[in-house]
Amino acid sequence: MTDSDPLLGPSLDPASMRKQYRAAGLDETELADHPMEQFARWFVEAAAHGEARGGVYEPNAMVVSTADAQGRPSSRTVLLKQYDERGFVFFTNYESRKARELAENPHVSLLFPWHPVARQVVVSGTARRTGRDETAAYFRTRPHGSQLGAWASTQSSVVSSRDELDASYASLVARYPEGEQVPVPPHWGGFRVSPRAVEFWQGRENRLHDRLRYVAVPDGQWRVERLSP
């Protein structure tokens, strides 16, 4: 049923939107010993599902939530670019809001929302900048236009118009035409999020979802605990 609001116009009732999850469950005996190995399994499955019509779009898209020194949170979607046993890596402008907040407060949360397969992965950890060599190696793999975009955008700052942004990009195209090496911006680079807890969420019937969380323990191992849905 739709309603009409004088300010919002026709609207839908979100409380009436329901999907019944019928996916197979997630059992402790099925988990890998290390959360990054378990993440790799699910990531491959999400990517494979994305190849089908209506599948997971950009399975490497993740919501990054940070907070400033006063604890005020902010969130945005970025793309995961690397992962291994050390954690999750993304790249950004070091003058952006997220980077400024991480400089004040390195605690961060990541969320991979794989809705078409009724799965989520939630990560809690700390972020540290990657080394410049690692940043440069990744920067060289970016398309030429994306390399220029890293120079053209003063991310999170107020810009007077789209024309100003386009003009900045155009001047860079003239300075660094296709085929010419673009230097790595000194204000741009990566963050590696080292996990302290990783939750694997599998949707189930009647909202009785499976939630299994790895928690780091002092001896370097991981404890697995089941959370109530």
Active site residues per annotation = 207
22 — phi, psi (to 5°)? Answer: -130, 20
CA 182 to centroid of chain Cα atoms: 26
> Burial of 122 by CB count in 10 Å (0-12 exposed, 13-18 middle, 19+ buried)?
middle
Long-range pairs, 216-223, Cβ under 8 A, ≥24: 222/33, 222/34, 222/35
Q: Cα torsion for 125, 127, 130, 135, to the nearest 10°?
A: 100
Strands (DSSP E) contained in the chain are 2-5, 9-12, 61-67, 73-79, 82-84, 87-93, 107-114, 119-129, 188-202, 210-216, 222-227
For residue 193, give Cα distances in angstroms to 178, 187, 207. Answer: 33, 19, 30
Q: CB–CB of 69/105 below 8 Å?
A: yes
